[in-house]
Amino acid sequence: MRFKPKPFTDPVPFRCLYCLDCCRGRHIYLTLEDIERIARAGHDPQDFVTFSVEGDKIRFVLAVREWDLGCVFHDPETGKCTIHEVNPIICRIYPFMVSRKPLGVEGEEPFEYRGEKLWLYYDESCPGINAEEPETTITPEEIAELGLEFEREFEKTDMDGFVELIGRLDGEGNG
């Protein structure tokens, strides 16, 4: 599904409705921390990591099933994530996003956080935002924090680190 950005400037009530939508057809980048956390929960990186060449960089991307382009960790019956406790940071950010630049959406404004200037959005097509009987309230601060964490980890994610991680996991019997 396509992300329809709406400016996220104030806390919003949220409850995931498991509408089966957001874990299909998405391109989800993995950081080395994501890969390690998921592997340590008992999943073989061979089964969930794919590679994508972007310019002179190799990116690590969450694998999808062939038949519906759903994430390999998505339960098609319930719509739930089978690795919720250890899922990738990008999944924890969604249905929000953090940008370093404005996207040109009406009402957007910069959000200053820890000395950084960010633009935050939520996906208008996610029915969990402003849902009835919300389970929680999501604040711009927590999404900005996750966005900066992703940025830090993503910068450190490269093939050398991946090879080193796989060697370490294999040595410990986790690979």
Instruction: Return the residue of 12, 33, 49, 87 that touches ligand SF4, per CB under 6 A.
Output: 87
Neighbours of 147 (CB within 10 A): 24
* DSSP sequence for the chain: ----EEE--S-EEE-----S-TTBS---B--HHHHHHHHHTT--HHHHEEEEEETTEEEEEE-B-TTT-BBTTB-TTT--BTTGGG--HHHHHTTEEEESS----TT---EEETTEEEEEEEETT-TTBT-SS-SEEE-HHHHHHHHHHHHHHHHT--HHHHHHHHHHHHHHT--
* Part of the chain binding ligand SF4 (CB under 6 A), chosen from 16-24, 107-115, 141-149, 159-167: 16-24
Instruction: Return the residue of 12, 35, 81, 166 that touches ligand SF4, per CB under 6 A.
Output: 81
* Part of the chain binding ligand SF4 (CB under 6 A), chosen from 49-57, 85-93, 148-156, 160-168: 85-93
* Part of the chain binding ligand SF4 (CB under 6 A), chosen from 51-59, 66-74, 113-121, 139-147: 66-74
- Measured from the CB atom, the residue of 21 and 149 that comes closer to ligand SF4 is 21
Does 93 bind ligand SF4 (CB under 6 A)? Our answer is no
Residues 115-134 contacting ligand SF4, CB under 6 A: 126-128
Does 69 bind ligand SF4 (CB under 6 A)? Our answer is no
Footprint of ligand SF4 on this chain (CB under 6 A)?
16-19, 21-23, 28, 71, 73-74, 79, 81, 83, 87-88, 91, 95, 126-128
